[in-house]
Structure formats: C-alpha cells, structure tokens
C-alpha cells in the first residue's frame, strides 16, 4: 500500500508544483493589463511603447520554446525548471524597482525568459509521469487550475495596485515566484527510464517537426484562439472595457477574470467531450466560430447597457477559446515519441506569437487613430481606436477557423 501511495503521490506532487509554475507564467503574461495606465504614467510612454514593454516578455519566451523542448528531453528537469523559475522571479523583482523604460523592457524580457519553461515543463512532467491516455485530461486539469488561479489572482492584483501601488504589487508576485522556485527544487524528480528509441539530435528533431504540416496548422490555430489571452486579457482588455463599456477598474477586472474562468472550465470540459465523442476537429471549429462571433459582438458594443450580459459573453469567449490547448494534444499524439517534446515546443512557440504580433500592433493602430492616453484623448477617439484595434483579434480568430478545415482534411482525430 505504501509503495502504491508513493507511486501515486510523487507524480501528483510534481504535477501540482509544475502547474503552479505554469500559473506564474500565465499571471505574468497578463499582469500589465491591470496597471496599463500606471505604467504609462510611471515611464511617460505612449500606447505603442506600452505594447512594446508588455510584449518584451514574449520575445525571449518564444525564442526559448524550441530549445526548452530539447533541453527537457535530454537533461535534468529538476535543475532546468528550478533555474528558470529563479530567473523569472529575479526579473520580476527587478522590474518592480526599475525607473528606466529601457531597463524595464530588459527585466520584463528576463521574466519572459524564465517563464518560457513553465508550461512546457508541466507538459513534460505530465507526459513522463502519467500514462499517455490521460495526457489530455491532465493538461486540461492543469489549465483549469492555472486559469482559475489567474482569474482570482487578477482580482487580488487589482486590489493590491489600488492599495499599495503597482511596484509593491509586482514585488508580491516576485516573492511568490521565489516560493514556487523552492517548491520546484524540493519536489521535482528526474525520471530515469530505459529509452526505447535513440534520441534524435536537435537539428534532426527541429527539421522533422518543421516538415510536419499538422504542427504548423495546429500551432496557428492555437495562436488564433489563445490571442484572447495574449492580446485582450494580457494588455488591452482593461482599457477596452473601461473606455468602450464605461466599466470602473473593479468591473473591468471582473470582466477579464470572466475570460479566465471560462478558459478554466472550458479546457477540462472540452477534453471530456472529445474523449466521449471523438470529434476533435468539430469542437475546434465550433470554438473558433463562437469566439469570432462573440468578439465581433463585443466590438459593436450593442449590449453596452447590460453589465451581466457582457460578463456572460466574456465567460463564453474564454470557454470557447479553451479549445486552444488541443494544439498540444495534436502535437503529442500525431508524431513519433522522439519528436513529441520538440513538436509541443514548436506549437507553443506559434501559440505565443500572438502576443509579439498583436500587442504592439494594436498599440500602433490606437496611436495612429489618435489615442495617446486616457487623460489626453477624447472618449470618442479612444473608443473608435480600441474598436479598430480589436478587429485584429477577430481576424486571427477567423484564421484559426480556417486552420480547422485544413486540419480536418488531415484527419486530425483523437487516437
């Protein structure tokens, strides 16, 4: 009995700690959203520069995705995740004390460098320590926990910013990162297994994955669906809700949190539905179509007088976008064992490209249309600029829907 308990508890403990690191990654991605005006005032920057500052997190994050997949496959998971978590925490703490815009970009990027190991670390631990038939369910549960915690954390961060200021709030986030670092070092173990295949070289893995159309299409689909997080929830969501729907800070926080609650519930429920009906591409297509329609409804502001209806739409938007994680299931189940980590890393890189492309692009559109800051721009100008910027989100969701049709032709099904 004790041996059985150890076999069950050890993987469960590692999975929980890895999920906590994944939560830290998600939380840092969206932290700037709650304090956009504070950052613009603190560093005296424009919306386009704010987009650059926020997206600085994602440049190194994206660049390390493919090397992370290879490193986690070949070297100590414990050491890699512990080191990356402390880099992430140090970058976060340094950002809180920074007063120079360019140094702030550097420390924001440093946080992204460390956080780049979080989600893939969770995927790797799930793949190594749990049977493959439970992969989709475990990843869905991890997403549920991470997204729900992010939704709660969003509300807490809003309160901390209001009470103590944005610098003090970020210090608390950095300290939380140090605690997660300690837990990773204490609980993560390296699995020594007799490999049934010869591990391919890095270049061989990379070129093999680059030649797989399924990885490209699934990754682009994931990018379009996760853009709700990388573009809306991570940066421009608060401003959009406060200016276009006249929400106060707390109400805007509830709106963004509704997206994360929807994501949190959508990931495991969609996973269970796919396991039951074995129609992966159908749910992906429905998710993309529903998210695009809801985004268009939000842009038109036709329900601007109904607060709870807006919250419901934001919840449904998050739920529909929960199909994004099927990107990783496709990568894990449709390639050979020796390419799985690389395939998941490549898809993760494509998913996060939305932040690098959309955050600064939306800021440039807003600036080009006359929006400079909430204090200096007329409300009509700001509203129109945000609506036009949000059309980019609608566009990438339409592209995600198109990818589903191509994936269907490739017979992308749960095996």
Asked whether residue 413 carries a pLDDT value surpassing 50, the answer given is: no
On whether residue 197 sits in a domain, the answer given is: no
Whole-model pTM: value is 0.78
94: pLDDT strictly greater than 60: yes
Choose the most confident range, by mean pLDDT, from 150-159, 161-170, 374-383.
161-170
Residues 242-253 pLDDT 10s: 888 989 888 888
Question: Is pLDDT of 323 > 50?
Answer: yes
How much is the average pLDDT of 112-133? 85
Residue at 395 is within a domain? yes
Spatial CB neighbours of 55, under 8 Å, sequence gap ≥ 6: 355, 356, 359, 360
Residue 78: count of CB within 10 angstroms of its CB = 16
Reported as a pLDDT band with limits 50, 70 and 90, residue 388 is very high
72 found inside a domain: yes
Position 192 scores a pLDDT of 59
Distance of alpha carbon 304 from alpha carbon 301, whole angstroms: 5
* Interhelix angle 135-164/2-30, nearest 10 degrees: 50
Q: Provide the number of structural domains found in the chain.
A: 1
In a domain, 308, yes or no: yes
Residue 340 pLDDT greater than 50, yes or no: yes
In a domain, 196, yes or no: no
Residue 294 lies in a domain: yes
CATH of the domain at 106: 1.20.1250.20
Query: pLDDT > 70: what percent of the chain?
Result: 91
Per-residue confidence band for 399, with pLDDT thresholds at 50, 70 and 90: very high
Helices 213-227 and 280-300 pack at an angle, to 10 degrees, of 30
What's residue 197's pLDDT?
A: 45
Q: Which domain holds residue 276?
A: 7-190+202-409
- In degrees and rounded to multiples of 5, residue 112 shows phi and psi of -65, -35
In-domain check, residue 299: yes
**The predicted structure's pLDDT at residue 196:** 45
| Residue 222 domain-assigned (yes or no) | yes
């Amino acid at each position: 009995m004790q041996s059985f308990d150890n076999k069950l508890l050890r993987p469960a403990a590692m999975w929980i700690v890895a999920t906590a690191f994944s939560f830290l990654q998600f939380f840092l991605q969206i932290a700037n959203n709650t304090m956009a005006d504070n950052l613009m005032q603190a560093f005296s920057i424009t919306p386009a520069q704010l987009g650059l500052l926020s997206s600085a997190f994602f440049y190194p994050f994206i660049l390390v995705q493919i090397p992370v997949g290879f490193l986690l496959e070949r070297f100590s998971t414990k050491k890699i995740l512990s080191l990356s978590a402390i880099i992430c925490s140090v970058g976060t703490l340094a950002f809180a004390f920074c007063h120079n815009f360019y140094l702030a970009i550097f420390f924001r990027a440093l946080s992204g460098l460390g956080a780049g190991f979080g989600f893939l670390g969770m995927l790797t631990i799930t793949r190594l320590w749990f049977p493959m038939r439970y992969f989709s369910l475990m990843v869905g549960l991890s997403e549920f926990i991470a997204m729900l915690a992010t939704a709660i954390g969003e509300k807490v961060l809003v309160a901390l910013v209001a009470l103590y200021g944005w610098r003090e709030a970020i210090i608390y986030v950095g300290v939380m990162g140090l605690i997660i670092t300690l837990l990773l070092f204490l609980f993560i173990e390296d699995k020594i297994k007799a490999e049934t295949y010869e591990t391919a070289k890095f270049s061989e893995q990379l070129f093999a994955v680059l030649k797989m159309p399924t990885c490209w299409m699934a990754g682009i689909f994931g990018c379009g669906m996760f853009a709700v997080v990388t573009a809306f929830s991570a940066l421009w969501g608060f401003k959009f809700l406060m200016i276009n729907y006249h929400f106060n800070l707390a109400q805007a926080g509830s709106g963004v949190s509704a997206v994360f609650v929807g994501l949190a519930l959508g990931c495991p429920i969609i996973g269970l539905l796919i396991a039951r009906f074995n129609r992966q591409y159908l749910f992906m297509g429905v998710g993309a179509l529903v998210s695009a329609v809801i985004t268009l409804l939000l842009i038109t502001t036709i329900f601007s007088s109904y607060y709870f209806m807006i919250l419901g739409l934001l919840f449904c938007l998050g739920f529909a976008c929960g199909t994004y994680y099927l990107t990783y299931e496709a990568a894990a189940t449709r390639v050979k064992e020796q390419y799985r980590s690389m395939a998941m890393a490549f898809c993760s890189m494509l998913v996060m490209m939305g932040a690098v492309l959309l955050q600064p692009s939306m800021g440039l559109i807003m600036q080009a249309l006359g929006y400079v800051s909430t204090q200096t721009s007329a409300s009509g100008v700001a509203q129109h600029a945000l609506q036009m910027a949000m059309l980019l989100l609608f566009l990438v969701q339409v592209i995600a829907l198109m990818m589903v049709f191509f994936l269907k032709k490739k017979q992308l099904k749960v095996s």
